[in-house]
Amino acid sequence: MKLLRYGPAGYEVPGIIGPEGEIRGLSGHVDDIGAATLSDQALDDIRTLDIASLPRVEDGVRVGPCVGGIGKVVCVGLNYSDHAEESNLPAPAEPILFMKATSAVSGPNDPIRIPRDSEKTDWEVELGVIIGRTARYVTEDAALDHVAGYCVANDVSERAFQNERGGQWVKGKSADSFGPLGPWMVTRDEVENPNDLALWLEVDGHRYQNGTTARMIFPVPFLISYISRFMTLQPGDVILTGTPAGVGMGQTPQTFLRPGQRVTLGVDGLGRQSQLVEAGE
């Protein structure tokens, strides 16, 4: 299944993608696509519905973040060897973890707003993992049983804030609009292997990133198991699993986003995003 949320920002309602690629409304069956609807049982209940009988949503409606009420966004840094190399950093011996503020989460096609005083706003296409079941000290073998589904994510980053202003990475990762998620969550039964997915990103039609999740240093089951040793993962939490080479910081010369540009990105089987870059307030 492909589950999504649509409507004005802050007032999204749940939906599902129908057999012709259309959006069908799920209101009246579930309150939201969030913690309460991400368990295996809740997802199975949605599968029993006659999708074709659900109300069809008008074309052109805004699509919001594919999961609501997110408790935390846990990010993994330098999880592709080629990205570590372009960052002039050694491949990590253990996953590098940092957090992105939930206030950064936005819809897949909402604008990216360059924050005040930004010099180096950058892009990062990533595979997002949405947790559906509480995970605490889980084994790698059992890790994927705790996943509700997967989505496209753009871990937008301000490199000067991240690397040149002291402290941790979180302040370079958390500006409003820096966390586009969606367009939908694809349930885990439809993703045979999360570590065998192509992912790509373009700016104004120029392809900068063209990678595969097969090149992760730490694959998805390991990441879930590892993170669950340090914090409890709860339904609705999101893990951003790292980005392949091709970010703006890694270009020669370095290249960063400017107002008026268009960022387009996607992950094989999970859909695509498109964001206009705007100057922030």
- Residue 91: predicted pLDDT: 87
- For residues 49 and 134, membership in a common domain is answered with no
Q: How confident is the model at residue 30 (pLDDT cuts 50, 70, 90)?
A: very high
Which of 180, 182, 59 lies closest to 110, judged by CA? 180
pLDDT tens digits, residue range 82-109?
Answer: 887 888 888 899 999 999 999 999 999 9
Domain CATH number, residue 137: 3.90.850.10
What's the CA angle centered on 171, arms 114 and 9, to 5 degrees?
55
139/158 Cα distance (integer angstroms): 34
The residue type of 8 is P
pLDDT tens track for 43-55: 999 999 999 999 9
Q: What are the pLDDT digits (tens) for 150-185? A: 999 999 999 999 999 988 899 999 999 999 999 999
Would you state the pLDDT for residue 184? 98
106 & 227 share domain: yes
Determine the pLDDT at residue 221: 98
The answer to whether position 62 is within a domain reads: no
Query: Does residue 66 surpass a pLDDT of 90?
Result: yes
Q: Which of 17-21, 87-91, 148-152, 236-240 has the lowest mean pLDDT?
A: 87-91
Is the per-residue pLDDT at 195 higher than 80? yes
Same domain assignment for residues 181 and 256: yes
Inter-CA distances, 257 with 75, 106, 209, Å: 21, 18, 14
DSSP 148: E
Instruction: Match 């694959």 to its residue by tokens.
Output: 219
Domain assignment present for residue 218? The answer is yes
Q: How many structural domains does the chain have?
A: 2
Q: Does the residue 48 lie in any domain?
A: yes
Full domain range(s) for residue 20: 2-53
Domain membership of residue 63 (yes or no) is no
What pLDDT is attached to residue 142?
A: 98
- Say what the pTM is: 0.97
Q: Which two tokens stand for residue 136?
A: 């605490």
pLDDT at 281 over 80: no
Q: Are 78 and 49 members of one domain?
A: no
The percentage of the chain sitting over the pLDDT mark of 90, rounded to a whole number, equals 94
Whether cis (ω within 30° of 0) applies to the bond prior to 253 is yes
* CB-CB contact of 244 with 82 (8 Å): yes
- 8 A C-beta contact, residue 153 and residue 181: yes
What is the four-CA torsion angle of 92, 273, 181, 5, rounded to 10 degrees? -160
Q: Considering only CA atoms, which of 261, 226, 256, 239 is closest in space to residue 93?
A: 226
